[in-house]
Chain A
Amino acid sequence: MKRLAIDVGGTFTDFVLLAEDEVVTIEKAPSLPDRPDDVFFEGITRLEVDFSTLETIIHGSTLVINTVVQARGARIGLITTQGFRDVLELARGNRIDIYDLFYKQPEPLVPRYLRLEVPGRLNFRGEELVPLDEAAVRTAAQRLKAQDVQSIAVCFFHAYANPTHELRAAELIHEEFPEAYISLSHVVSGEWREYERTSTSVLNAYVMPRMGRYLAALENRLREQHYRGILNVVQSTGGMLPSEGARQTPIRILDRGASLSSPLSKIWPGYHSGGDAAGF
C-alpha cells in the first residue's frame, strides 16, 4: 500500500508519494488560493495514483493561518456565562510588545453586541450551581441568527471540568439555527482560565466555516474517486488529526509549516538538502 503527503502552501503545493518499496515520487504545482482542492486533485492525477492502492493521505495546509492573517474569517457570535461577555475584550493586563510604549490591544474578533450571556453556572469541580437556562440559549441563538453570523463560539465557566452545559447548548443552538458552525470551548481547549479558552474557541469559530467547507469538499471528492483510506490533517504539534476532527477544531492546524518540517527532517534528512538535516 502507498502513502501520499500533500502540503498546500501559499505559493506551491508539494506532493510526496511513498510506495511500499520506499520508492519516493515527488510532484509540485503552483497553489491556487481560491481553489485549493483543485490543485490537490491535479497533483494526484499527475502522479497517476491508483486510489485502490492508497492507504493514507496526509495533508498539510496554510489555509487556517492565512484566513487569520488576512482577516478573512467568518462573522461570528459568542454565547458565554452570564456576567462574562467582556472577558474576551478585557484579555490580560500585559503589554505584549514590551518596547512599544504605544501598544494597543487588537480589537476582539467578536464585537460586544454579538457576545451574548446565558444563566447557568458550574464550579471548578464541574458541579452544577445554577442549571443552564435553555430558553436563554434558544433566544441567544435566534438573535445571532437574525444578525447573520455564520459561526458561534460557546464558552461556559469551568466547561473543562464538566462539558454537559456546553453540549446541551450545542443541541439547542442546532435546533434553532441548524446552519451555524458551533465551536465548543471544552472541545477546542479543555483548559482552565477563561480568557485563553474563550479566545481560542472564538478563533476556532472564526476559521471553522472556511476550513470546514474545504475539508468537506476534499472528503466528498475523495469518496467520489472511491478512496477508502484515511484523510489525515497535520496539526501544529506535528501530529495528525482525521479530517472529520479537523473540521471541528481547525485551530489545531493553525501552524503546520514549522511543525511538519522538524519531524520530516528527522526521519528523512536528505529531503531538505543533500544529506544535512535542516528543519525550520
Chain B
Amino acid sequence: MQRVFDESEQLVCARVRDIPDGVYLAETFMDHDGVELDKMRKIRVTVTVKDSDMLVDLTGSSDVCSGPINLPLIGTRAAVEMAFKALTVPLDPTNSGHMRPLQVIAPEHTVVNPQYPAPTDSYGYVGNTLADLVIRAMAPAMPGRCIAGSYQLFGIYLLRVDTRYGKPFLFV
C-alpha cells in the first residue's frame, strides 16, 4: 500500500512541476455572514507553486464571523484538496499520497479556521467558494483545465445545454 501512496505522490508531483513556478492570487467576498447583514466577508487565496510543491495560503481572509458561515479547518483542507486533485490528477483513485505535495495555511480565528465557540452551521458556502477560488487562481497558469465557479444558494435555475433545441442559455 505504501508503494501505491508513493506512486500517487510521484504522479501528482510531475503534474505540479508542469505548472510554471509563481504566485497566483484570487479573492472574493461573501455578501454577509448570515447575522451581520451589512458586512461583506473576504476569502483570499494565495497559491505558490515551486517545483513540485504547492502552497495554498489563506492569510488575508476575514476574521471569524458572528454568523454561521465559518468553515472549520478540516473542511477548509478538504475544499482545497478537492480543487488540487481536480486540477492535477482528477481521474486517479484518490489516496493520501496525492496530497503530500500540498500544504495549506489557514490562520486561527479566521472564517477558514474558526475556534470554539464560533458558529459553523452554514459552512458549505465558504467551502464551495474556496474550491472555486483555488481553481480561479490557477486559471492563468493552467489554461484548459480550469472551470468557472459554481453557484452558492439559489432559488431556481433553468438552462439549456443541448444545441439541437436552440441556443444554450442559463437563467438563475
- Check if A and B associate: yes
Q: How far is the CA of A99 from the CA of B145 in the complex (A)?
A: 12
Q: Are B135 and A99 interface neighbours, CB within 8 A?
A: no
Q: Does residue B55 face the partner (Cβ distance < 8 Å to A)? A: no
The interface bits of chain B over 134-156 (1 if a CB of A lies within 8 angstroms of the residue's CB, else 0) are 01000000000111000000000
Q: Does residue A280 face the partner (Cβ distance < 8 Å to B)? A: no
The number of residue pairs between A and B whose CB atoms lie closer than 8 Å in the complex comes to 21
Name the residue of chain B whose CB is nearest to the CB of A103: B90
Chain B residues in 8 Å Cβ range of A99: 82, 85-86, 90-91, 94
Chain A residues in 8 Å Cβ range of B82: 98-99
List residues of B (75-126) whose CB comes within 8 Å of A's CBs: 82, 85-87, 90-91, 94
Chain B residues in 8 Å Cβ range of A100: 86, 90-91
Quote the shortest CB–CB distance from A115 to chain B (angstroms): 14
Quote the shortest CB–CB distance from A106 to chain B (angstroms): 14
Q: How far is the CA of A100 from the CA of B85 in the complex (A)?
A: 9
Chain B residues in 8 Å Cβ range of A101: 86-87, 90, 135, 145-147
Chain A residues in 8 Å Cβ range of B135: 101
Quote the shortest CB–CB distance from A83 to chain B (angstroms): 15
Quote the shortest CB–CB distance from B158 to chain A (angstroms): 11
Q: Are A102 and B94 interface neighbours, CB within 8 A?
A: no
Q: How far is the CA of A260 from the CA of B136 in the complex (A)?
A: 47
Chain A residues in 8 Å Cβ range of B146: 101
Quote the shortest CB–CB distance from B131 to chain A (angstroms): 9
Quote the shortest CB–CB distance from A104 to chain B (angstroms): 9
Interface size range on A against B: under 10
Quote the shortest CB–CB distance from B135 to chain A (angstroms): 7
Q: How far is the CA of A101 from the CA of B131 in the complex (A)?
A: 11
List residues of A (79-126) whose CB comes within 8 Å of B's CBs: 97-102
Q: How far is the CA of A99 from the CA of B82 in the complex (A)?
A: 6
Quote the shortest CB–CB distance from A276 to chain B (angstroms): 20
In the complex, which of the residues A100, A101, A102 has the most CB atoms of chain B within 10 Å of its own CB atom?
A: A101
Chain A residues in 8 Å Cβ range of B145: 101
Q: How far is the CA of A101 from the CA of B94 in the complex (A)?
A: 15
Chain A residues in 8 Å Cβ range of B94: 99
Quote the shortest CB–CB distance from A91 to chain B (angstroms): 13
Q: How far is the CA of A84 from the CA of B87 in the complex (A)?
A: 37
Q: How far is the CA of A70 from the CA of B135 in the complex (A)?
A: 35
Quote the shortest CB–CB distance from B153 to chain A (angstroms): 13
Quote the shortest CB–CB distance from A139 to chain B (angstroms): 24
List residues of B (52-72) whose CB comes within 8 Å of A's CBs: none
Q: How far is the CA of A214 from the CA of B86 in the complex (A)?
A: 43
Q: How far is the CA of A97 from the CA of B93 in the complex (A)?
A: 11
Name the residue of chain B whose CB is nearest to the CB of A105: B161
In the complex, which of the residues B86, B94, B135 has the most CB atoms of chain A within 10 Å of its own CB atom?
A: B86
Q: How far is the CA of A99 from the CA of B81 in the complex (A)?
A: 10
Quote the shortest CB–CB distance from A176 to chain B (angstroms): 30
Quote the shortest CB–CB distance from B48 to chain A (angstroms): 22
Quote the shortest CB–CB distance from B40 to chain A (angstroms): 27
Quote the shortest CB–CB distance from A155 to chain B (angstroms): 22
Chain A residues in 8 Å Cβ range of B85: 99
Q: How far is the CA of A101 from the CA of B86 in the complex (A)?
A: 6
Chain B residues in 8 Å Cβ range of A97: 90-91
Q: How far is the CA of A102 from the CA of B147 in the complex (A)?
A: 8
Quote the shortest CB–CB distance from B91 to chain A (angstroms): 7
Chain A residues in 8 Å Cβ range of B87: 101
Name the residue of chain A whose CB is nearest to the CB of B84: A99
Q: How far is the CA of A99 from the CA of B135 in the complex (A)?
A: 12
List residues of A (190-232) whose CB comes within 8 Å of B's CBs: none
Residues of A within 8 A of B (CB): 97-102
Apart from A100-B86, A101-B86, A101-B147, list 6 A-B contacts with CB within 8 A. Answer: A97-B90, A98-B82, A98-B86, A99-B91, A101-B87, A102-B147
| Selected A-B contacts with CB under 8 Å, 9 pairs | A97-B90, A97-B91, A98-B86, A99-B91, A100-B86, A101-B86, A101-B90, A101-B135, A101-B147
Nearest 7 A-B pairs (CB), nearest first? A99-B90, A99-B86, A101-B147, A100-B90, A99-B85, A101-B86, A98-B82
